[in-house]
Chains A and B, each alone.
Chain A
């Protein structure tokens, strides 16, 4: 019997190790360990053994059974691993094939720049206002200290809806200064981006509709130094920390003192080149201290409060920012253009 067990062990282990499929493995399990299996058959003969032999043979038989079971298990894992490996090999992809993905839409380049500017000002505690484009000449001009007879009021420059020139398409975002001063409580810190309209034919640098951003801060003790400091900070965030600026006296009816801000030409570094028309500087915006007449007109005591305001053209910034050469591209909305941003 001992020999029989030994032989069975060798035979079965060899057979299991040679099994190549899980089906063959299962058949071997049944062949050896099943109810009518060979090992089971040997065990059934245990009863015929002597009392001395029985425990020895019993132990031996259990060892053989354990060995067969272990080998079955090991072979089963081997086969599963191999099967997985083959499956994975069969599933191999060419990872250089372009991906399939939902295409994201793009933001218009001008509004990309606008969002950046909004973020900068929001970070400084400014609110963002939206206003009407159909406006009264009172808000667009008169309350901004722009007299009757000012050339900007000409019908050749401004779009009008009424023969008496009282209702128009706003030519600037500056009416938002007045609306803000009339409706908000002090201190005021606002920006007001939006569409504005002037009677210019479309060309590479002009459009009858364009965008401005108005900004204004009114509080006690606001100085022209604050205006410079704020604008310098904004331009550095927009164009980089090494941006050089200068301020020049200028004239706007609704600020006094008034200024224009230039940034040093990024192309030539201030030496003079075609981009800056040889001046070395590029004009970016107009600004100034809110005219006391304008403050008083809005019921703000100019002896107590002061403030600054600025306005600049968004298109010019976007064109400069993305190196766009022609303003018409902005309003043409060709997707081949839009996709670049």
Chain B
């Protein structure tokens, strides 16, 4: 909402306040000033000049050399190519050093050999349009004396043009919150200003002079849908004379950001800015039967709106119709079929109240948000319609734009509710943490238009006492509860005057949940292992599943789909974190980052029957250029270790399409699959533009958490020395280290403490198809120094088991 400070002055006098003080105070009382500017800010050193003499340029057949009185002792010579001026005309003269809108600067110079000490300007060069100066032609100089209002003010040569053209105003741009549509008006803001600075609010009661007659003889109004139209108020104006509106009205419309059109249309816009009540003017001759029917559109109806666009209307859209057709989309925009035109003779002013959500839905569906719909959709004051239409008629009279017909049609299908509340100072102070007196509260609320002149008896659970009764003003539909009253009190008591206190009451422990502690531990472990944390988008493209090698039938593709995504790229909720990790690895690869290790603890999303999602967290590791499979596996083992998950088993998985068939493992603990790790399939890596070995692990964090081990308990250190035995075993290639290890553990008896894999050897003298695997065994007895016999016996048992079960023999 743009507010002209000059216009504001009509309602509350704060002209002594600087723009900064004014803006700061209003921002702190709840009407946030985004910025302020003066319409003349961009114009410097342009003055009124009177043409004293004009002669043809000696070297040009179209230029004139003018001598201008700019209020100095000597005339100033300016060359111009314009043709519409005459001696005696008043024109804007940009003197040397002048600045024009857009930053253009003017200097003295020669034009075809003749000195020109400045430039005579058109309104276009001053940043304005023909709408602002309807009495001046489109081409040529801006002749101030052609505008009757300017001429009446008798501008003097040398006068600053911003003053002469009334551009020396300040326009404040407010950010108005959606609960305060009343502040989308000069009067609404004036009320806030009055309360903020504690100065009197001067409201004006419109006085309408009529020429007799009776609107009821010409017009009839019916509301078919009272829920969508709580009030419809109308007045009739005859013998309309369409003309430009006067300067003072045009400049206020411009300050408010509205283009002047003609007197009737300008009046409706002026009233909207002043009262916050959108209005519409119909050419009454186009309303068939003089009968206005407020109803929802019928199947197949359409309308061409004032902007020239055709719209198909759908049932549910509220329209203003005559007996045959829609003539206006209610609260949004009028129809071209009843537009005010040059020869309009009779005008019906509509000042109505419409249901906010209904207007919003219609405006959204039609793709046209207007000044009117933006106000209506927030819910307007139903009591404002009559004041607004009276003001419009007063302005018609004032502008000699027509003759007002006697009578008002004011349809109120249902009684309009009034909100009353009790003023409970103790409750308000308890909520705010303040000690504001009741008198102060009354003073603040009264300034804002709340009526506290009566008492109400309110019966509490324990005792009865009198409270002041608050009648909430009709324009404050947002106030319905004592907490709303508390906000009004707080706003003008000053949020920054409320003492800052710390929480009291029962103490609470606070802290991380067990899950969050585990997450913190996992993150710290990943970082200790050299992995950097990343954050990726939760939504991906369906095509990402192709990129990670999933078949078209893969059930994991069943993802939650966003119906209105920003684009296909971000249209489904990921059921795998791999595409996100691959995207980031690929991006780093394209940035030529050589060695990269990344982790993310992020969610994946699975459809649930109730339409919502299961959102387990996945711990993803991703790396390239920093080690191979066993580095990745080592990291996973460390993570399992950090979470005290024991007995995890890694099994080769040749069937995961995202991973290298010979370098992929599933990790399980008991029956629970914890995740997958391995080298990303080279074809998948290639899909992401990477031709290096890429390693990823995807671990279901919810399962890691569920299987995490208990806090450690100290075990006494061994009292007796251990014996070590290194075993180099020859076995067929297909026998895995895991199988060998398991066999050793199973057959190790009571003395085998641990088995450590040392290395694998292939080549002579080992035969092809075989390999040599070396283990280091630690043997220990708990209660004595292990005897050689016991150690040898243990190894013998192990070797026997290895040979029979796996065909592995000692080398």
Chain A interface (Cβ < 8 Å from any Cβ of B): 102-108, 110-111, 118, 121-128, 130, 132-136, 147-151, 154-156, 159-163, 166-167, 169, 187, 189, 195, 197, 199, 201, 208-209, 217, 219-226, 228-230, 232-233, 246-251, 256-259, 278, 289, 291-293, 306, 330-336, 338-339
Q: Digit string of B505-522 for contact with A (CB within 8 Å is 1, else 0)?
A: 111111111011000000
* Interface contact A228-B500, CB-CB below 8 Å: yes
Contacts A159-B565, A229-B500, A278-B35 given; does A111 touch B484 at CB 8 Å? no
CB-CB under 8 A from A293, the residues of chain B are 481
CB-CB under 8 A from A221, the residues of chain B are 430, 504-505
Chain A interface SS verdict (over half): mixed
Complex: A341 Cα to B597 Cα, angstroms: 15
A290 — nearest CB in chain B belongs to which residue? B483
Counting contact residues on chain B (CB < 8 A from A), the size range is: 35 or more
Report the number of A-B residue pairs with Cβ-Cβ less than 8 Å: 244
* Interface contact B538-A187, CB-CB below 8 Å: no
Contacts A248-B30, A335-B596 given; does A219 touch B503 at CB 8 Å? yes
* Interface contact B498-A224, CB-CB below 8 Å: yes
B524 — nearest CB in chain A belongs to which residue? A107
Q: Chain B nearest CB: distance from A127 CB in Å?
A: 6
Q: Which of B377, B523, B537, B562 interacts with A160 by CB under 8 Å?
A: B562
Q: Which of A133, A154, A167, A225 interacts with B615 by CB under 8 Å?
A: A133
CB-CB under 8 A from A229, the residues of chain B are 500-503
Contacts A135-B612, A147-B357, A159-B565 given; does A125 touch B495 at CB 8 Å? no
CB-CB under 8 A from A110, the residues of chain B are 535
* Interface contact A189-B534, CB-CB below 8 Å: no
* Interface contact B535-A104, CB-CB below 8 Å: no
Complex: A280 Cα to B260 Cα, angstroms: 36
Q: Digit string of B474-513 for contact with A (CB within 8 Å is 1, else 0)?
A: 0000000111101100110001101111111111111111
Contact of B605 with A by CB under 8 A: yes
* Interface contact B538-A123, CB-CB below 8 Å: no
Contact of B529 with A by CB under 8 A: yes
Complex: A111 Cα to B519 Cα, angstroms: 12
Complex: A163 Cα to B564 Cα, angstroms: 10
Contact of B532 with A by CB under 8 A: yes
Q: Which of A197, A208, A306, A333 interacts with B431 by CB under 8 Å?
A: A306
In the complex, besides A159-B564, A201-B566, A208-B566, 20 extra interface pairs with C-beta distance below 8 angstroms are A105-B597, A105-B599, A111-B533, A128-B516, A133-B603, A134-B560, A148-B357, A149-B356, A151-B178, A160-B563, A166-B611, A189-B510, A222-B505, A225-B498, A226-B433, A228-B501, A229-B503, A256-B481, A333-B534, A334-B588
Complex: A157 Cα to B151 Cα, angstroms: 51
Residue among B180, B562, B605 with the highest chain A CB neighbour number at 10 A: B562
Q: Which of A121, A246, A256 interacts with B483 by CB under 8 Å?
A: A256
CB-CB under 8 A from A250, the residues of chain B are 30, 32, 177
* Interface contact B612-A226, CB-CB below 8 Å: no
Contacts A107-B523, A187-B505 given; does A134 touch B615 at CB 8 Å? yes
Q: Chain A nearest CB: distance from B503 CB in Å?
A: 5
Contact of B539 with A by CB under 8 A: yes
CB-CB under 8 A from A256, the residues of chain B are 481, 483-484, 486-487
Complex: A6 Cα to B746 Cα, angstroms: 76
Q: Chain B nearest CB: distance from A205 CB in Å?
A: 16
* Interface contact A331-B536, CB-CB below 8 Å: yes
CB-CB under 8 A from A104, the residues of chain B are 527-528, 530
CB-CB under 8 A from A187, the residues of chain B are 505-506, 508
B35 — nearest CB in chain A belongs to which residue? A278
CB-CB under 8 A from A149, the residues of chain B are 356-357, 360-361, 377
Q: Chain A nearest CB: distance from B529 CB in Å?
A: 7
Residues of chain B in range 566-623 having any CB-CB distance to chain A below 8 Å: 566, 570, 573, 584, 587-588, 591, 593, 596-599, 603, 605, 611-613, 615
Residue among A105, A208, A222, A334 with the highest chain B CB neighbour number at 10 A: A105
B483 — nearest CB in chain A belongs to which residue? A256
